[in-house]
A and B are shown apart, each in its own frame.
Chain A
């Protein structure tokens, strides 16, 4: 039983780390502020969720698991709020999204 939990926890931690790196790489490589924000939200949701789930599986039914769930709940509420405020502030400031200027020709080609 504990071997199964260990394997599950390992998979969650590895997947979470992978998604964190993917989100941060998108933060560097994406061409536009709004697309970068989209990439960064991967780190906030899937990466953080999987890593915290892996740690909860390691902790078992203890106070530590409750604290980890508190952290997950905190991220669940604050990260969309911060992203929303950021996007709205950038839009009001006049930052234009980089749109496809070719008139959709690239999708047909």
Chain B
């Protein structure tokens, strides 16, 4: 039964990669990367059960933490053009 779940997750992973290749805007690609990260987390958990090595769950936790930070960093880069600056408040208010 774990093999069936892993196969379904691999199929979802392939579909998300199709969107990452097609995506007309950068946000589509960022969304696809986020989905790929979520599915990879689940796939790591399922593979840990499939091979009888639950240590894979630690890898899944680390992958999930890195995934969200990566998504936010990419979004900030494409919004402000830089990762170092704090960014401006919307509406152009002087501070």
Residue numbers of B with Cβ under 8 A of A are 1-2, 4-5, 7-9, 11-16, 18-19, 22, 25, 27-28, 30-32, 34-35, 38-39, 41-42, 45-46, 49, 54, 57-58, 60-61, 64-65, 67-68, 71-72, 75, 78-79, 90
Contact = CB atoms under 8 A, between A and B. Distances in A.
Contacts of A47: 12, 42
Contacts of B18: 28
Interface string A1-21: 000000001100110111011
- B interface secondary structure, majority: helix
Contact of A24 (B2, B15, B67): B15
Interface of A: 9-10, 13-14, 16-18, 20-21, 23-25, 27-28, 33, 36-37, 40, 43-44, 47-48, 51-52, 54-55, 58-59, 64, 67-68, 70-71, 74-75, 78-79, 81-83, 85-86, 89-90, 92-93, 95
A75 B27 contact: no
Contacts of A78: 64, 67-68
B9 A82 contact: no
A58 B57 CA distance: 14
Contact of A55 (B22, B49, B68): B49
Given A28-B18, A28-B19, A82-B34, A52 B9 contact: no
